[in-house]
Amino acid sequence: MKNFVIVFFLAIIIQAIESIEVQAASSLKFAEFSFVHESDILLENAVIDTSITVYGNCTSCKKAIEKATKSVKGVKSASWDKMKKILTIQYDLSETSLNTIEKAIIDIGYDTENMRAEDSVYDELHECCKYDRKPQ
C-alpha cells in the first residue's frame, strides 16, 4: 500500500510538471495547494512571470501587442519593450497558457519567438508596424 501511494503521488507530480509551460527565465509562485479529495490536487493561484520576444516597431505596435495579451483571460499584466522586443507577462496558469497568449498575439499580425503570424494578417498591419520578419 505504501508503494502504491508513493507511485500515485509521483505520477501526479510528473503530470503536473509536464503540463506547465515555463521558459528558463520563468518563475512559479504558488500561493497555496488545497486537497479536494485524497487523489486530486487543486492548484490555486499559480502565477507565472515570464518574458518572450515579440516583433514590432512602434508605439502603435506596443498598444496592440499589450491589448491582445491583456485580452486573454487570466493575464494579470503585460508590458512590451519596443527597443528590446521583449513582452513581459504575468498570468494565472490555472486560467491560461503561454501558448494561448502567443496565439492571441499572432492573430493580430505579430510574430513571437515561438509562433509566426499568418502572412495575410501581417500584410494588414500599418506600414510603420511592418517589422523585418525572420525567414520561415
CATH classification of the domain holding 80: 3.30.70.100
Q: What total number of domains does the chain contain?
A: 1
Cβ neighbours for 95, distance < 8 A, ≥ 6 positions apart: 73, 74
For residues 74 and 9, give the distance between their C-alpha atoms in angstroms, rounded to a whole number: 28
Residue type, 112: T
In tens, the pLDDT along 73-83 reads 999 999 999 99
Distance of CA 37 to the CA centre of its chain: 29
Confidence grade of residue 8 (pLDDT, cut at 50, 70, 90): low
Cβ neighbours for 89, distance < 8 A, ≥ 6 positions apart: 48, 49, 50, 51, 52, 69, 75, 77, 78, 98, 101
In tens, the pLDDT along 14-36 reads 565 655 544 333 444 443 343 43
Tell me what pLDDT residue 121 has: 96
Contact 51, 86 (CB under 8 A): yes
Structural domain for 52, as ranges: 2-129
Domain-embedded: residue 134 = no
User: What is the enclosing helix (H) or strand (E) of 105?
Assistant: helix 98-106
Domain-embedded: residue 135 = no
Strand, coil or helix: 126: coil
pTM for the structure as a whole = 0.68
Tell me what pLDDT residue 134 has: 83
For residues 67 and 71, give the distance between their C-alpha atoms in angstroms, rounded to a whole number: 6
Tell me what pLDDT residue 98 has: 95
Residue among 52, 57, 131 nearest 86 (CA): 52
Domain-embedded: residue 136 = no
Domain-embedded: residue 54 = yes
41-53 and 75-81: which strand pairing?
Answer: unpaired
